[in-house]
Amino acid sequence: MLSLPKAVRRLTPDRLRDDRRLRALAVGAGVIPPRVLHSPAEAEVIARLARDASTAVEIGVYEGASAAVLCGALPRGAELHLIDPFVDATGHALPPGWGATEAASRRVVERARRDGSPKIHWHVAPSGEVGRAWRTPIDLVFIDGDHSEEGCRLDWELFHPHVTAGGVVAFHDARLSQPGGDGAPGPTAVVDSLFRGDGAVDGWEIVDETHRLVTVRATG
């Protein structure tokens, strides 16, 4: 389905473009694309990480743009777990009024799947609730949910014990402190405290830094 040209979308008043109900209808129908919150360079990294993953987890789906990248890169037979409560934005992740809807995001993800692959598991709940009950080994975790320091750290604490040896965790918006970097204070504080300097945790190392994205690999 073709989306409206950018020139036409720019003419839409903000009050209509950001209206959650109207936007959900348009995004779900494919009339307008989902908001893309990652850069092209970050998308390339996410896709590269996904190509070797059997099980991937994304925390913070929003309108499904990064989930679509994962769908396009994960190998046949892989499983993708998508976690988002789909409630009003909290934790400093999004501007006011930028909430997404589950139905529209599901449609975006479904359009991105290639012949039904990967297998999608939806978890419409807070990531903390999902993480406390998690038991499945994971090859890739993309943390892009609650951007408060407490929320981002909780996602790390709950999910990283399940990452396989050689598996990766990617933190979005986590390079605010770095030269040429960008991001948000919460995820940046978590990454800096865990992986930089003398206090870096054992068994993990930073393997990629791109724009706002920091990727760490389990070495043990």
Q: Tens of pLDDT along 160-195?
A: 999 999 999 999 999 999 998 999 999 999 999 999
Print the domain residue range for 183.
35-218
- Check whether residue 194 and residue 168 sit in a common domain: yes
- Check whether residue 3 and residue 67 sit in a common domain: no
Q: In percent, how much of the chain has pLDDT > 90?
A: 69
Task: Please state the domain count of the chain.
Answer: 2
- Check whether residue 179 and residue 82 sit in a common domain: yes
Q: Residue 11: what pLDDT?
A: 45
- Check whether residue 111 and residue 172 sit in a common domain: yes
- Check whether residue 57 and residue 103 sit in a common domain: yes
- Check whether residue 109 and residue 138 sit in a common domain: yes
Assess whether pLDDT exceeds 60 at residue 10: no
- Check whether residue 3 and residue 41 sit in a common domain: no
- Check whether residue 122 and residue 69 sit in a common domain: yes
The pTM (predicted TM-score) of the whole model is 0.85
Assess whether pLDDT exceeds 60 at residue 35: yes
d(CA 188, CA 147): 9
* 91 CB burial (10 A radius; 0-12, 13-18, 19+): middle
- Check whether residue 71 and residue 170 sit in a common domain: yes
- Check whether residue 19 and residue 40 sit in a common domain: no
d(CA 67, CA 199): 33
Q: In percent, how much of the chain has pLDDT > 70?
A: 85
- Mean pLDDT of the region 109-132: 93
- Check whether residue 55 and residue 7 sit in a common domain: no
Q: In CATH, what number is assigned to the domain containing residue 211?
A: 3.40.50.150
More confident of the two residues 22 and 9: 22
d(CA 192, CA 186): 10
- Check whether residue 10 and residue 114 sit in a common domain: no
H-run or E-run covering 194? helix 185-195
